A = this chain, B = another copy of it.
């Protein structure tokens, strides 16, 4: 293991000579500056910018992933196609070591056909989607609804005997809402600056254990509903405007719900709840033709390299998750990131051989708890003690900070930096430095050529939620870019309108170009990016 010390960084220093050109505010004439060396024509970053902005293929990659393949739920037929097609793309670009790495996941699932209608008190087709991994209805199921917002096992007694033969509406309906801010927006400079706010890591093992304990409730609820004779479940979409998600976390092989389940658009769900409250228990007709595939319960990450000249085995890495939820085509989440990663590989495939190897990873199982990147980290980078009993699935994600110490594996020292893209199709405005203060000035220099393309901010904060997390957690420099939000969070994230239509081509070209430049810089710098120590078990919990 290499000691994580900050290094002087020659490319950064070279760039700083340009960026820090003296701005004289004195009234006396400044001495004439020494004549600058003529800038090198077609420097590597200029070549990357030309390739990425003039010959971009990023939208071709995105179109195939979204329009042609569509949703890529982990282990679904779409995801299997995507695993194969992305490997083909990397091979066609001349990358080496193209392969997939499997990890235990569970069954595949998809929707072949689905329809939810209210048939009484009046016929109306509802906007609805089967909840991921729920079983089929075996033809058409017709039953009255009951609104039973069961929040914990403590509520079971109150509903005992009332659910037989019913479609159980599990969400509390609430009231409609209206969007009072623009759905589509970009960060202001003030907002970007506010991101530069370091907060110490917060460890909360008691909170983690409480979260883990809650994970069993869906199974308890499923067993209760089955025992009570309920025939199906329905939940309300968390968004208004008839947007659907259908996302739920029930993935392990053999651990799928007993009852068919659908998510119903908020407007349609609330109408059902109001009619039920008014005395007319509406009758629904559900046809949910969902399918399982148990032929291969492993999920696969896709890996591809641009081999470096350095024989030490050092490498830099970019990643994005290839899997998605199933309501839309997984466009901003995250065909956008995947297309930018492949496009960065395409751009860099036109460049001379880098010093360090550049690795590209397309993760699987991200939506179920960063499982693909976690597998990569545990397989190659570092391990933690296995608890007894071992945690699986989402519990691995939630419980990751309970197990100490971290034991580095051989790649820990070789992986110089990991860069992640998972914030939609908005242009890159900066990067989160994850508390790596020595990396901050280096990143600022790397962004210098991109100031005119709106990318400048280096925010020394930690962010979570996506695939750099487990790298960062074991002390590898791992970073997520800051991207303009656009309408990612306001209406696209996991929804039925996460389609190609809402990808922004100009933004994605910029993002892929910057990713390529960062990878080039990280692969070719004299010294690797500064590192932080491997985290050790915190002695005291951070005050709340």
Contacts and interface: CB of A to CB of B under 8 A. Distances in A.
Contacts of A77: 122
A206 to B, nearest CB: 39
Given A180-B184, A501-B270, A111 B125 contact: yes
Contacts of A278: 63, 67-68
A76 to B, nearest CB: 11
A266 B501 contact: yes
A504 to B, nearest CB: 8
Nearest to A272: B67
Contact of A329 (B68, B178, B184, B271): B271
A219 interface: no
B117 A497 contact: no
A178 B127 CA distance: 22
A258 interface: no
A7 interface: no
A77 B499 CA distance: 36
A241 interface: yes
A542 to B, nearest CB: 38
A53 B181 CA distance: 29
A242 interface: yes
A515 to B, nearest CB: 23
Nearest to A186: B180
> Of residues A66, A184, A271, which shows the largest number of chain B Cβ atoms within 10 Å of its Cβ?
A271
Interface in A176-231: 176, 178-185
A112 interface: yes
A99 interface: no
A123 B127 contact: no
A129 to B, nearest CB: 8
A121 interface: yes
A521 interface: no
> Of residues A67, A127, A243, which shows the largest number of chain B Cβ atoms within 10 Å of its Cβ?
A67
Interface string A90-121: 00000000000000000000111111010001
A127 B125 contact: no
A127 B499 CA distance: 13
Contact of A240 (B175, B242, B496, B497): B497
Contacts of A350: none
Contacts of A275: 67-68
Interface string A470-508: 000000000000000011000100001101111000000
A497 B453 CA distance: 39
- Chain A: interface residue count, which band? 35 or more
Contacts of A486: 178
Contacts of A305: none
A122 B117 CA distance: 24
A274 interface: yes
Interface string A120-146: 011111010100000000000000000
**How many identical chains are in the complex?**
2
A500 B271 contact: yes
A69 interface: yes
A535 B274 CA distance: 49
Interface in A60-86: 63, 66-71, 77-78
Contacts of A243: 241-242
A324 B122 CA distance: 16
Interface in A227-282: 240-243, 266-268, 270-271, 274-275, 278, 280
A182 B180 CA distance: 5
A179 B111 CA distance: 30
Nearest to A270: B501
A500 B123 contact: no
A496 B127 contact: yes
B121 A68 contact: yes
A496 B270 contact: no
A426 to B, nearest CB: 11
B491 A241 contact: yes
Contacts of A114: 125
Nearest to A176: B501
Contacts of A500: 176, 270-271, 274
Nearest to A130: B125
Nearest to A291: B123
Contacts of A496: 127, 242, 267
A269 to B, nearest CB: 10
A114 B78 CA distance: 26
A525 B184 CA distance: 51
Contact of A122 (B69, B115, B241): B69
4 smallest beta-carbon distances between A and B, as pairs: A176-B501, A178-B184, A179-B183, A267-B499
Given A70-B122, A115-B115, 12 more contacts: A67-B271, A113-B123, A115-B125, A127-B242, A178-B184, A178-B487, A179-B184, A179-B487, A241-B497, A242-B242, A267-B502, A271-B501
18 contacts: A63-B274, A68-B121, A68-B275, A113-B125, A115-B125, A127-B242, A175-B501, A176-B501, A178-B184, A179-B184, A179-B487, A240-B501, A267-B496, A267-B499, A267-B501, A267-B502, A270-B499, A271-B329
